[in-house]
């Protein structure tokens, strides 16, 4: 607890002024997470990575529509809502990626013929949106108490035109990058759950990005653990 | 998911409490729940919390051609979305009655009251005007959506800055935020909705009903008013008959409430402006309360990636080299191609009837790539016209490929069902193609 307060006392120097370039490419932006902030959903979490912010709400295990019922496991649904306008193809494809990741870790067989709905709302997009969506979804699932075989996190890597690796890129870095790779990793063995890439890269670079993502995932999981520790602490 | 209905005893309990001038959350009759306004990092983005009801507002703009009958006026567009996050009963992509009602009320409150100077949004008359789009997302539904949404809409509009434009002759220049400071919209006044719930045929009245109270109320009166005590919109729904002095009393209460809320909004806007000017921290990260145990923050974390290259090399060295690729497609007939050497398929067993069918198949057989096609269907009377096709397994998926030949034929490919796959006899089978000549 003491440690957490210490961390609070320090300055988050980059809030709101993210246009300033970050020193080294291989660092994660500041993270913040708030769980259980909505009263209606069974579990909710707001996850911030730098200025990127996603709000997630989870309903479930709950009643399922007969048309969507699966007899031996829970029906997992992911809804991603953009901030402006109506959801389009990009949102549908992200929804699918997130759903597949969640399905890999959620123990749906424990709740057959129910529905687990994850609703994600983009609050602000400043790069690494998919990774932030994944992290928010994981924290909301944890808050809802949905049984999972492991936690998962999303990490985005960007490769510059000169091949330098940037972790957790901002929107500007993503735009200038030659390739943007997003991975979802599990917390037990840091195995790959999902990967989606955009742009041109060699197979050596892919392995490098994956190794860097695995290193970064350790930090994210530590963040998860500390935030849950704080939440369930007695003091 | 369906909404959980309110039980009769809950209903009775709520109504009894209201009769005794008590509210479940300890408020007085005319009390509002606490209002909290927080802003995002970009302009025109805000979250308004009214008790537990939460609305996210975002304003965006776009240059469009104006409406024909309003050549010199900008366009205002409101879109309130009831996200499934807010309540499980809200279905995505469905226009429910409630949603239509709320959107219409918002439009009347903000567009028809002419609180935004739409003429100032005109760039070139008849050609280019700004379209201001207000997106409102309900994040959590705990009653009184309209008040929260109207506050969120007006706060977002006040906070929004549009890019500056200049017109020289017939040349329109749009300036990026770095070149010229974005300009705020010109807002004449701030209309705010105040809801009154009526119970027992108008006997009892409550300001700012929460979700439970909304469920047992008989009627709702919404008054939109600005701080100059001018009524912008008034709507009564639910079919209760109100007396003149009831409406007058409500409008008096609304005047007081609107003054309070307007003051709060202006304070929040000034605060945000000050922080931005001074270069301090702003955005949602700052609005998360640190003392809550459900919230946690982590500073910028450096990640050690020095061993990344070695790790990657290790994995690359361990990995098997990719098999050599034979990349010369063999073209047997037009419309078909084969990649690879055409190794014989060893899956399943070929039955006699199939062999016959194959022989009947004719001379100009199409060769399908073996690794794509795995068919073991038992098709009776292959080759004869209009013969009924009997499939051995109903679970199989079928795929019909129509060939662009002058002699159109159907090729039936089928995926081996698991049952057949496990068939014990594994004679070295041969290539199987099947096809039914339709004509």
pLDDT 10s digits, A25-72: 588 999 999 999 999 999 999 999 999 999 999 998 999 999 999 999
Q: Long-range contacts for B8-11 (Cβ within 8 Å, ≥24 apart)?
A: B10/B212, B11/B215, B11/B216
**A133/chain B closest Cα distance in angstroms:** 15
For the cut 90, the answer to whether the pLDDT of residue B54 exceeds it is yes
* Tokens 């829970």 found at: A74
Beta bridge partners of A49: A31, A52
In chain A, how many H helices and how many E strands? Answer: 5, 10
Check CB contact under 8 Å for A211 and B141. no
B94 touches A at CB < 8 Å: no
**A130/chain B closest Cα distance in angstroms:** 18
For the cut 50, the answer to whether the pLDDT of residue A149 exceeds it is yes
Q: Which residue of A has its CA nearest to B87?
A: A40
Instruction: Report the distance separating Cα B331 and Cα B367, nearest Å.
Output: 9
For the cut 90, the answer to whether the pLDDT of residue A235 exceeds it is no
Give the least confident one: A148-157, B221-230, B330-339: B330-339
Q: Where are the alpha helices (DSSP H) in B118-243?
A: 145-159, 211-216
| CATH topology classification for A31-233 | Ribosomal Protein S5; domain 2 (3.30.230)
Instruction: Report the distance separating Cα A177 and Cα B397, nearest Å.
Output: 43
- Label residue A16 by pLDDT band (50, 70, 90): very low
**pLDDT tens across B135-193, in order?**
999 999 999 999 999 999 999 999 999 999 999 888 889 999 889 999 999 999 999 99
Phi, psi angles (nearest 5°) of residue A40: -75, -50
Q: Can you give the pLDDT at residue B140? A: 95
B239 touches A at CB < 8 Å: no
Q: Which residue of B has its CA nearest to A64?
A: B1
Chain B, residues 271-310, CB within 8 A of chain A, namely 275-276, 279-286, 288, 290, 292-305, 307-309
**A190/chain B closest Cα distance in angstroms:** 14
Q: Which residue of A has its CA nearest to B297?
A: A32
A19 touches B at CB < 8 Å: no
- Label residue A75 by pLDDT band (50, 70, 90): very high
Contact A130, A97 (CB under 8 A): yes
**A159/chain B closest Cα distance in angstroms:** 14
Instruction: Report the distance separating Cα A157 and Cα A174, nearest Å.
Output: 9
Q: Can you give the pLDDT at residue A22? A: 42
Of residues A83, A119, A215, nearest to B84 (C-beta): A119
Q: Can you give the pLDDT at residue B169? A: 84
Q: In sequence order, what are the residues at sequence separation of 6 or more whose Cβ sits closer than 8 angstroms to the Cβ of residue B140?
A: A38, A39, A40, A41, B52, B53, B54, B85, B86
Give the least confident one: A191-200, A218-227, B1-10, B363-372: B363-372
Instruction: Report the distance separating Cα A230 and Cα A233, nearest Å.
Output: 5
Contact B191, B154 (CB under 8 A): yes
- Kindly report the number of other CB atoms within 10 A of residue B241's CB atom: 10
B312 touches A at CB < 8 Å: yes
Contact B39, B152 (CB under 8 A): no
| SS3 of residue B76 by DSSP | strand
Longest Cα separation, chain B? 95
Q: Chain centroid to CA A177: how far?
A: 21
Q: Which residue of B has its CA nearest to A17?
A: B281
| SS3 of residue B261 by DSSP | helix
Q: Where are the alpha helices (DSSP H) in B324-366?
A: 352-360
- Label residue B336 by pLDDT band (50, 70, 90): confident
DSSP string, B301-321: EE---TTHHHHHHHHHHHSPP
Of residues B286, B301, B316, nearest to A219 (C-beta): B301
Q: Can you give the pLDDT at residue B296? A: 87
| Mean pLDDT, chain A, whole residue set | 88
| Mean pLDDT, chain B, whole residue set | 81
For the cut 90, the answer to whether the pLDDT of residue B284 exceeds it is no
- Chain B partners of A33 at a C-beta cutoff of 8 Å? 295-297
Check CB contact under 8 Å for B81 and A48. no
Domain residue limits, chain A: 31-233
B308 or A22, higher pLDDT: B308
Domain residue limits, chain B: 28-269
Q: Which residue of B has its CA nearest to A218?
A: B303
For the cut 50, the answer to whether the pLDDT of residue B277 exceeds it is yes
Q: Can you give the pLDDT at residue A67? A: 93
Between 3.30.230.70, 3.30.70.20, 2.102.10.10, 3.20.20.60, what CATH number should domain B28-269 receive?
Answer: 3.30.230.70
Q: Which residue of A has its CA nearest to B293?
A: A231
């Amino acid at each position: 607890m003491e440690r957490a307060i210490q961390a609070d006392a320090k300055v988050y120097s980059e809030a709101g002024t993210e246009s300033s370039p970050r020193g080294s490419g291989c660092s994660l932006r500041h993270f913040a997470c708030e769980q259980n902030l909505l009263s209606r959903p069974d579990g909710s979490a707001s996850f911030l990575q730098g200025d990127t912010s996603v709000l997630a709400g989870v309903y479930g295990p709950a009643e399922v529509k007969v048309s969507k019922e699966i007899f031996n496991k829970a029906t997992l649904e992911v809804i991603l809502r953009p901030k402006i306008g109506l959801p389009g193809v990009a949102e549908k494809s992200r929804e699918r990626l997130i759903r597949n990741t969640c399905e890999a870790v959620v123990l749906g067989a424990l709740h057959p013929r129910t529905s687990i709905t994850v609703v994600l709302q983009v609050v602000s997009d400043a790069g690494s949106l998919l990774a932030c969506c994944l992290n928010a979804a994981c924290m909301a699932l944890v808050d809802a108490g949905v049984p999972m075989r492991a936690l998962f996190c999303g990490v985005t890597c960007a490769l510059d035109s000169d091949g330098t690796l940037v972790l957790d890129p901002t929107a500007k870095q993503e735009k200038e990058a030659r390739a943007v790779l997003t991975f979802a990793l599990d917390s037990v063995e840091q195995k790959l759950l999902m990967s989606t890439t955009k742009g041109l890269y060699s197979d050596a670079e892919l392995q490098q990005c994956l190794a860097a993502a695995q290193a970064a995932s350790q930090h994210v999981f530590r963040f998860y653990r500390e935030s849950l520790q704080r939440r369930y602490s007695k003091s | 998911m369906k909404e959980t209905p309110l039980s009769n005893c809950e209903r009775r309990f709520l109504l009894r409490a209201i009769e005794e001038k008590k509210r479940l959350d300890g408020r007085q009759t005319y009390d509002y729940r606490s209002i909290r306004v927080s802003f995002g990092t970009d302009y025109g983005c805000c979250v308004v919390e009214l008790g537990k009801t939460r609305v996210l507002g975002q304003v965006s703009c776009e240059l469009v051609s104006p409406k024909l009958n309003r050549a010199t006026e900008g366009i205002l567009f409101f879109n309130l979305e009831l996200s499934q996050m807010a309540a499980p009963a809200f279905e995505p992509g469905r226009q429910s009655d409630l949603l239509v009602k709320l959107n219409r009320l918002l439009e009347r409150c903000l567009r028809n009251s002419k609180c935004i100077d739409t003429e100032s949004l005109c760039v070139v008359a008849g050609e280019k005007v700004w379209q201001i789009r207000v997106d409102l997302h309900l994040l959590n539904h705990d009653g009184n959506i309209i008040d929260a949404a109207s506050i969120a809409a007006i706060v977002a509009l006040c906070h929004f800055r549009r890019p500056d434009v200049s017109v020289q002759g017939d040349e329109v220049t749009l300036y990026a935020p770095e070149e010229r400071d974005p300009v705020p919209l010109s807002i004449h006044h701030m209309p705010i909705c105040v809801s009154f719930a009526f119970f027992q045929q108008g006997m009892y009245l409550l300001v700012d009903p929460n979700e439970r109270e909304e469920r047992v109320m008989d009627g709702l009166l919404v008054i939109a008013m600005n701080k100059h005590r001018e009524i912008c919109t008034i709507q009564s729904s639910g079919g209760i008959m109100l007396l003149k002095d009831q409406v007058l009393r409500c409008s008096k209460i609304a005047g007081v409430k609107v003054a309070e809320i307007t003051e709060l909004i202006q304070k929040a806007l000034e605060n945000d402006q000050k922080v931005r000017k001074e270069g301090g921290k702003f955005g949602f990260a700052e609005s998360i309360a640190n003392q809550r145990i459900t919230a946690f923050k982590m500073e910028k974390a450096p990640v050690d990636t020095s061993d990344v290259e070695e790790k990657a090399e290790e994995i690359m060295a361990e990995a098997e080299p990719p098999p050599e690729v034979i990349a010369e497609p063999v073209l047997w007939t037009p419309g078909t191609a084969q990649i690879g050497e055409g190794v014989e398929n060893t899956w399943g067993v070929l039955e006699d009837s199939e062999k016959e069918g194959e022989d009947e198949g004719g001379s100009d057989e199409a060769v399908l790539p073996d690794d794509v096609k795995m068919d073991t269907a038992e098709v009776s009377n292959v080759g004869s016209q209009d013969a009924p096709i009997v499939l051995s397994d109903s679970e199989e998926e079928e795929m019909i490929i129509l060939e662009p030949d002058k002699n159109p034929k159907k090729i039936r490919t089928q995926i081996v069902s698991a049952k057949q796959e496990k068939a014990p006899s594994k004679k070295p089978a041969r290539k199987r193609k099947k096809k039914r000549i339709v004509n």
